Amino acid sequence: MEPKKINAKALEKLLESLKKGEESASGIYLYKGLRIQISKYKSTSTERYMKLYRKRREAGLCIRCGEKVKDKNPRTGKLYRLCNHHRETTDKKNRPK
Ligand SMILES: [Zn+2]
């Protein structure tokens, strides 16, 4: 990942969000030739999964495989969480017979 060049003002902003413990502060930055890395220490696999889940969900991708979801749920008008393939394999199991 390429570091993001920041100026003094951006650095101050970064410190502010860091103080608040905002996760958006994490990243790799370059300030006056110095590399600053902010990342979660010992993040658990659940946290990593949740992050991936959220990222895929926001991008409208299947949360299982990352494939683009094309169909919308007619009830909610929102895109499904899963692609066609995973919707079939997952939903059918849960459906009462
Ligand atoms: Zn899928």
Specify the pLDDT at position 92.
64
Residue ranges near ligand 1 (ion) with Cβ within 5 Å:
62, 64-65, 67, 83, 86
Residue 94 alpha carbon to ligand 1 centre in Å: 17
What is the 39 CA–ligand 1 centroid distance (Å)?
A: 29
The two structure tokens encoding residue 52: 């991936």
- Same domain flag for 81 and 51: yes
Model confidence, pTM:
0.49
CA distance 58 to 68: 11
Cα 43 to middle of ligand 1, angstroms: 25
- How many structural domains does the chain have? 2
Do 57 and 88 fall within a single domain?
yes
Dihedral in degrees, nearest 10, Cα atoms 61, 67, 71, 74: -40
Considering the domain architecture, whether residues 82 and 66 belong to the same structural domain is answered as: yes
Give me the tens of pLDDT residue by residue for the chain, a chain 97 residues long. 689 999 999 999 999 999 998 888 889 999 999 999 998 877 788 888 888 899 999 999 999 999 999 999 999 999 999 999 999 887 666 656 5
Residue range of the domain that includes 74: 45-94
Q: Are 41 and 51 in contact (CB under 8 A)?
A: no
Q: How far is CA 97 from CA 36, 73, 76, 94, in A?
A: 55, 21, 24, 9
